[in-house]
Amino acid sequence: MNAALQFAERFRVPLCLLLVFGIWQAVHLAGVVPEKFFPSMPEIVGAFWRMLSDGTVITAWVTTFLRALIGLIAAASLGIALAILSDLSPVLSRGIRYVSDILQPIPPAAFVPMAVFMLGLGTKLYAFVIILVTVWPPYLNGVTALQAVSPVQVNTGRMFGLSRSQILWQVRLPAALPEIFTGIRYAATISLIAVIVSEMLAGRDGIGFMIYKKVYAMRSSDVFALMFLVACSGVLLNGLVALLRRALTGWHMRMMERPE
């Protein structure tokens, strides 16, 4: 029993994948959904392999992933910069808060038509849509975290002669960084969604556009293969954020993980 549990713990990732495969295959074989729309796992893997060998999927994936990554970096930097500005000026903070309250509930897809009219089809459109939906979690977490820094920490900085800006850079920002990263992590997911949606609605390349084409061509196994690829991209993007987070705020993660 114990050995079985240990085995399950050790191989939990492949086991979960196997479970998903199994359920998928069972649904496929049960014939609940017409076969045309719900291909078997071997068909999906085969479709992926085909797209991989003709090279189309690689170019599309690199395009999409870079868009999501660059968009995330830009949005996170902008979010942190805005959080710092808001911290310096309460008036600006209130202003940005209104804007974010209005813009935040709008789904990325709703921005795309407007962006097409304003910016045309191209890089500017992606930048606009991604940043507009991705900037808020790092910004909002940044504002809250900067406000929440303990007055004792600030007074400690003042006692050792730090100026206001030195306190911001050397005390308050490092203290706020763990919570900012929680926002960036969330933003990573949104960034990928925004890219795929923009590519589907207004794109000429990338995975989103590819999915769109395949849907119209009724290539369901290709569509599913691409969806799995998107899922993997999400995991990869989160992994990159986690790496940076560990490098910059590793102390916080170890502090939280330590046994009491």
Considering the rule CB under 8 A, would residue 155 count as an interface residue with another protein? yes
CA-to-CA distance for 79 and 224, rounded, in angstroms? 34
CA-to-CA distance for 87 and 110, rounded, in angstroms? 30
- Cα torsion angle, 248, 232, 256, 259, sign: negative
Q: Please report how close the Cβ of residue 95 comes to another protein at its closest, in angstroms.
A: 28
Considering the rule CB under 8 A, would residue 156 count as an interface residue with another protein? yes
Tokens of 22: 């199994």
Q: Other CB atoms closer than 10 Å to residue 48's CB: what's the count?
A: 18
Considering the rule CB under 8 A, would residue 259 count as an interface residue with another protein? no
Q: Which of 174, 215, 238, 240 binds another protein (CB under 8 A)?
A: 174
Considering the rule CB under 8 A, would residue 165 count as an interface residue with another protein? no
Q: Which is nearer to another protein, 160 or 228 (CB)?
A: 160
Considering the rule CB under 8 A, would residue 171 count as an interface residue with another protein? yes
Q: Please report how close the Cβ of residue 199 comes to another protein at its closest, in angstroms.
A: 39
Helices then strands, counting H and E runs in the chain, come out as 13, 0
- Contact between 189 and 234 (Cβ < 8 Å): yes
Q: Which of 153, 182, 189, 238 binds another protein (CB under 8 A)?
A: 153
Considering the rule CB under 8 A, would residue 182 count as an interface residue with another protein? no
Q: Any idea which residue has 């490092």 for tokens?
A: 174
Considering the rule CB under 8 A, would residue 258 count as an interface residue with another protein? yes
Largest CA distance in the chain: 73
Dihedral pair phi/psi, residue 160, rounded to 5° = -90, 15
* Span interacting with another protein, options 77-85, 96-104, 135-143, 152-160, rule CB under 8 A: 152-160
Q: Which residues bind another protein (CB under 8 A)?
A: 150, 152-153, 155-156, 158-162, 171, 174-175, 249, 251-252, 254-255, 258
